[in-house]
Structure 1
């Protein structure tokens, strides 16, 4: 009887694991742009490392804002969209990672999706997120969107993030 129960459990576990949605790691399209779910490690590779590393190193964090953000940030998840072809994404994405790392954000709570020039992916990962401009960083608490900043921050990346996450009034650059 124990063997039957164990066999049923293992079979159920096997099928449950195979039902997980498959996440497509970003690949290069015909223009040499990353498309799909990506990570910082991919930006550290040529040719993206040129803009990523300099943008990361050149940015000076506001440590006062970082200290306010740090206790709040791990209560959120983030879905971000960017384009490796886009100058605003090349400017803001390294800064975004620097802020996340300074706040000790759990990177498992970040999904960064690289889109093509039409702001789409072959897997339609952008569907339902109203992505008109990149980068777009969307913040969630309890699976509810609490805010986003679009293309560039109103103040600084960390100041905008603090406003969004703390619940202060915030409108992104294209919101009236």
Structure 2
């Protein structure tokens, strides 16, 4: 009788312990699922109204897009430089996937020779890589590198054009004024995390 009672207790204890393990396992798995659900989402650029206007000198200030440059004052230099630029197709192919998940903020001056050269080329690169241009915000600045509503504030815009690349809301690098190698190769280095310094980067 004692043996039967002892065996019953052992069996009951083993069953409870097994249930406890299953419960603990389920709890751990539930916590894992909760952690996965709580993972941060990728930060996307908020599309803002295209509001670039000519200032007293006839230069653009504000948020622009590709269509902005079809104004009679800008389209001759924009279209000719867009058409005449031949991209490096091999690097473009790599950029198609490398640019995924990025947002870009650009600053240019319609009065600036470097901006007038690089901005049409940059748009051609975006077009050929199939980049979602809702994730690209272009800000046109006056000669003091400012806009009326200070869109440049806190971003250390010293030279234009400047194109800043963000991943998950964090700046990962910037292209400033002219390439070190080529536009495509410089950008590929930035977005793939390879060592890259723009022409005015004096950091160690």
Same fold (TM over 0.5): yes
Question: Counterpart of 2:100?
Answer: 74
Q: For 1:44-59, list aligned pairs within 5 A.
A: 44-59=70-85
Q: For 1:24-63, list aligned pairs within 5 A.
A: 25-63=51-89
Equivalenced residue count is 157
* Two-structure CA RMSD over aligned residues (Å): 1.4
Q: Which of 148, 161, 164 is the matching residue for 2:187?
A: 161
Q: Distance in 1 between matches of 2:170 and 2:110?
A: 27
Q: Does 1:110 align with 2:140?
A: no
Q: Which of 157, 161, 170 is the matching residue for 1:131?
A: 157
* Closer, same or farther: CA 22–51 of 1 in aligned 2, 3 Å: closer
Question: Counterpart of 1:120?
Answer: 146
Question: Counterpart of 1:148?
Answer: 174
Any gaps of 5 or more consecutive residues in structure 1? 1-19
Shift of 1:157: 1.1
SS of the aligned residue for 2:164 comes to: strand
Q: Does 1:89 align with 2:115?
A: yes
Q: Distance in 2 between matches of 1:131 and 1:146?
A: 16
Shift of 1:22: 6.7
TM-score (norm 1): 0.86
Q: Distance in 1 between matches of 2:48 and 2:191?
A: 29
Q: Deviation per CA, 1:146-174, whole angstroms, max 9, x where unpaired? A: 00011111111111110000110000010
SS of the aligned residue for 2:105 comes to: strand
Q: Distance in 1 between matches of 2:154 and 2:100?
A: 24
Question: Counterpart of 1:100?
Answer: 126
Q: Distance in 2 between matches of 1:45 and 1:156?
A: 28
Question: Counterpart of 1:171?
Answer: 197
Preserved CA contact (<8 Å) 1:137 1:150: yes
Shift of 1:74: 2.4
Preserved CA contact (<8 Å) 1:74 1:106: no
Shift of 1:110: 0.4
* Closer, same or farther: CA 62–24 of 1 in aligned 2, 3 Å: closer
Preserved CA contact (<8 Å) 2:50 2:65: no
